[in-house]
Amino acid sequence: MRKGVVFLPLLQGEEELIRKSVDKALRKHEATRENLIPILLQVQEALGYLPGLAMEQIAAALKMPAVEVYGLATFYNQFRLHPPGKHQVKVCMGTACYMVGGRIALECFERRLGIKEGETTPDREFSLERVACVGCCTMAPVVVVDEHVEGKVTPTRVDGILLSFGKAIASGAEAAGKKGEGAS
Ligand code: FES
């Protein structure tokens, strides 16, 4: 179960989009507890993720505590609680990659971006996730950035990948500080 999810602030106009997506899902599915998962899935499909506001609105419509909806969404990995970043970084954690430094690559991205796996940077430029084998084991450790496969990813290569997107490389402490600023 994922804990302590911090939702990113909504973008301009996003609130309206969320309301429309929730309304649409509730027109398709009767507002009953049995339909909670189909409703959540439809909203996630429309928005690319499940914002906290959407879960609150769904909970109100189903006359159930928001914390219950939140609990269910955080329990199942099929639900994504952070918006997809403009650039999606997927670090392979399949056995071959894990054995030769996949974990190190993931931690390096986490430090550089100032987020944990499953999260999105406050500017929504990058999202970071771990994935299972992507079928390029001979290139391990592998990272897929958007649709591009990067092989033999060392910490230096992590910096190179981020720099290629114009991402200034900060130390972990600086990145964490910036994240804190963004959250306030
Ligand atoms: S285990 Fe990573 S590509 Fe196969």
State in Å: Cα 116 to ligand 1 middle.
Answer: 21
Say yes or no to pLDDT of 183 above 90.
no
d(CA 143, CA 160): 13
C-alpha neighbours within 13 Å on the C-beta side of residue 141: 25
Cβ < 6 A, ligand 1 pocket:
92, 94-97, 133-137, 140, 142
- Beta strands per DSSP E along 20-64: none
Q: Which CATH superfamily does the domain covering 87-183 fall into? A: Glutaredoxin (3.40.30.10)
Say yes or no to pLDDT of 140 above 90.
yes
Bridge pairing between strands 143-145 and 126-131? unpaired
Neighbours of 51 (CB within 10 A): 24
The answer to whether the beta carbons of residues 118 and 129 sit under 8 Å apart is yes
pTM of the model: 0.80
State in Å: Cα 142 to ligand 1 middle.
Answer: 7
State in Å: Cα 77 to ligand 1 middle.
Answer: 20
**Test site for ligand 1: of 133, 152, 153, most ligand atoms within 8 A of the Cβ:** 133
pLDDT at 25: 98
Give the distance from CA 10 to its chain's centroid: 15
Q: Whose CA is nearest to atom 1 of ligand 1?
A: 94
State in Å: Cα 121 to ligand 1 middle.
Answer: 25
Counting atoms of ligand 1 from 1, which one is nearest the CA of 141?
2
pLDDT at 168: 64
Say yes or no to pLDDT of 41 above 90.
yes
- Per-residue pLDDT of 61-115, as tens digits, reads 999 999 999 999 999 989 999 999 999 999 999 999 999 999 999 999 999 999 9
Token representation of residue 179: 């994240």
Residue extents of the structural domains in the chain: 14-75, 87-183
What does the chain come to in residues?
184
**Test site for ligand 1: of 100, 103, 131, 142, most ligand atoms within 8 A of the Cβ:** 142
d(CA 77, CA 134): 18
d(CA 82, CA 56): 15
